[in-house]
Structure formats: C-alpha cells, structure tokens
Amino acid sequence: MPRRSIHAPARAGALALALGLALAGCAASGDGGGSGDAAPTTAAPSGTSGTSAPPAAVASAGCGTSTQGAVTEQERTLTVADQPRRYLLTVPEAHDGTTPLPVVFDFHGLMEGAEVHAGMSQYSALAAEEGFVAVFPHGTGTPIRWNANPLATTNDDLTYFDDVRAQLAADLCIDESRIYATGLSNGAMFTSILLCQRADVLAAAAPVAGITDAEDCDPARPVPIVAYHGTADPILLFNGGVDTSMLGGGDPNAPTTTAPPADLEGEGYPAAVAAFAARNGCAPEPTDTEVTAEVIHRVYDCPEGADVEFFIVLGGGHSWPGSAFSKTIGNIVGPTTFDIDATRDAWAFMSQFTNA
C-alpha cells in the first residue's frame, strides 16, 4: 500500500538496554535508507494558515556573511555548562548565504544518539530536496538521553538548544521565524518541553511516539502541533504508562507481546494531544478521518495558526511511520506503518507556519 502525505508538500520514558543495542547494531549495518514503497500521494492541507501571504523571513546574523556550503550530517561541537556537546548538521545546496532557510531540529530517542536517529528519520534527504537545514542534536548521559523533566529547575538541554540555535544563526543564513522541532520517544518528550518553554522560538512541532503534557505548561504563544502515536506501542503505552517488560525481557530476538486494547478517546496520548489543543484555543471535539485501514487523522478546530493534529496508527508500535529503519527493529518496537511518512508529512505540516 502506498504511503500517504496528508498535507501538501513544500511545506520518556525508559527503554530497555535491548533497544539501545539493537539500534546501535542497525546503525553499524548502515540500514537506514528509504522504505522502497511507492511515492506518497498528497491531499490538500488541513491547516488554515496558508490563506494569506506568508510573513517575510527573519534573516539571521549569518545572512550576507555565511560561506557555508552544502554538508550532510557533519559533526559540529560546542560547550554548554562546561560540558562538550555535539550535533550533526545537514545544509542543502539551496544555502547560498543570502536566502534565509528554515531549520528542523530532530531529537533522537533514548539510547539512539544523533547518528542512529538520522538514519531513522531520513531528514537529511528531505532537507536536500526541500531546501531546509536539518539538525540532529546529541544528548548526554548513559544511556544517551534528553532531560524531559518538566519540573526541572535547571535544564542544560534547554541551554544547549538555545546555544545550537545561536550558533546556526551566526554561521548560516537561516530564517529565525521558521524553527521547527520533531523527535522520537524521549526526543518527542523533549520536543514537548520546548513547546512549553520555547514557544516563542518554535514555529511548529511534530512529536512522534511521545508527546507529553505537563500541568504547569504555560507557553508564550500557541504553537501548531502534529503528533503521532501507535495504539499498540509496547513501550510508551497509548493510554499512558511505560512497560519495559514488553521488550521481551531484554532479549532483542524475542517478539514483543500484545499491548493493551486502546481507547482512542482515553487517557495517555489522546489526552496529551487534547491538552495542547485546549491551550491553543481549539474546540474540544475533534474530527476523525480514516486515512487508511491503519491510520486515523484527528484534526481539532483551532484558531488560525494554532493547528493541532494527531495521527493515530491502529496497531502501530513505538516506531517512526514510514521508516525502513524502524521496521528492522520491529521485534522490539512493534509494527511500523508505511501508509504515512512521518518525515515528509510532518515537514509538510510544519512548513506552513512561522512564528512571526
């Protein structure tokens, strides 16, 4: 079945050690390419922000001075809170040093790391095609992770995000009104932290398998969101909770067991999306559309520029929709759908919006 992109183009949990080992093994094998399925079909965007002329770009300090050429997943370093940090940077051929380009921050999941997640999402290939900058930040600690604790009084990962963004603004010609964030699992949780604490920076966000609501979330402005979650996620359960026993006792060759039946209107991830919709001023009752037999597209009626959407993958696992890489670790994370492509679809959604 061909994958579908619903929007027009141009636009934490804990995991067991088995997941980290399997991801690392897949990264070493170099198996991170496309799915090989037919090209996605497209439909008109459900967002409303495209009804008027877009605001002018907000050019960064590097516009007019940057000589940065095209690179793919080049390692960059910086120091944050006296700790060396790094990230991978993809700059497309479209970067001419004078035309401001959008930026997508793509945050890895627990134990993945930047290199592994770049293979998971394949945002570099799309960045080259669509003409935006892709950034794959790298967390800290053992296992590698993001501080997604909404109650933390200090969070060096927020400082790291700010510092990377400042480095990009100085070194490249970027559009500071079009900074987007996405991420998987623990990376989706950190994206949720950014939605609450860096809403003045983000133009839109796309958390995959891990959007998290915090009661004290008080964003500076409504940020458009498209979220993804599988009803059979064996790790971050669709209706809430974490179950590392679903990983087959840590044996990467053991199949996952069946997740509990999902309540599409219930607690957990449906409630988290609904909470963000309420903050954005959306009507409480969304509209559900069956995209395919595997995918439901939930759309809230929101004010212009505050869109909230949710792709519910029926029987989907703790996976990145459309990723062949996810499929290779299906015995751990569960099924991956190819009816939609979370990379292309999220970009199509996010790229409609600016924070200007």
Do the domain assignments include residue 356? Answer: no
Q: Tokens in use for 47?
A: 């967002």
Question: Which range (19-28, 230-239, 275-284, 345-354) has the least confidence?
Answer: 19-28
Asked whether 184 and 206 are in contact (CB, 8 A), the reply is no
Domains in the chain, number: 1
Computed over every residue of the chain, the mean pLDDT equals 86
pLDDT in tens, 288-315: 999 999 999 999 999 999 999 999 999 9
Mean pLDDT of 238-256: 64
Domain of 204 in residue numbering reads as 4-44+62-350
Do the domain assignments include residue 55? Answer: no
Do the domain assignments include residue 339? Answer: yes
Asked whether 246 and 256 are in contact (CB, 8 A), the reply is yes
Do the domain assignments include residue 56? Answer: no
Residue 8 DSSP one-character state: P
Could you give the strand order of the β-sheet that contains 83-91, starting from the edge strand earlier in sequence?
71-80, 83-91, 133-137, 101-107, 174-184, 202-208, 225-230, 308-313, 295-299, 287-290
Do the domain assignments include residue 95? Answer: yes
Asked whether 204 and 102 are in contact (CB, 8 A), the reply is no
The Cα 235–Cα 231 span in angstroms is 11
Do the domain assignments include residue 292? Answer: yes
The Cα 246–Cα 236 span in angstroms is 10
- Write the CA distances from 176 to 95, 97, 138, integer angstroms: 15, 14, 21
The Cα 249–Cα 75 span in angstroms is 35
Q: Whole-model pTM?
A: 0.86
Do the domain assignments include residue 109? Answer: yes
The predicted pLDDT at position 28 comes to 33
What does the radius of gyration of the chain's CA atoms come to, in whole angstroms?
Answer: 19
pLDDT in tens, 113-155: 999 999 999 999 999 999 999 999 999 999 999 999 988 889 9
Work out the burial of residue 51: count CB atoms within 10 Å of its CB; fewer than 13 is exposed, 13-18 middle, 19 or more buried: exposed
The Cα 283–Cα 145 span in angstroms is 35
> What CATH number is associated with residue 145?
3.40.50.1820
The predicted pLDDT at position 12 comes to 35
The Cα 194–Cα 148 span in angstroms is 9
What is the distance, to the nearest Å, from the Cα of residue 284 to the centroid of all Cα atoms in its chain? 24
Do the domain assignments include residue 355? Answer: no
Q: Is the pLDDT of residue 214 over 70?
A: yes
- From the list 7, 103, 170, the residue with the least C-alpha distance to 355 is 103
83-117 burial, b for 16+ CB within 10 Å, e for fewer? Answer: eebebbbbbbeebeeeebbbbbbbbbbbbbbbbbb
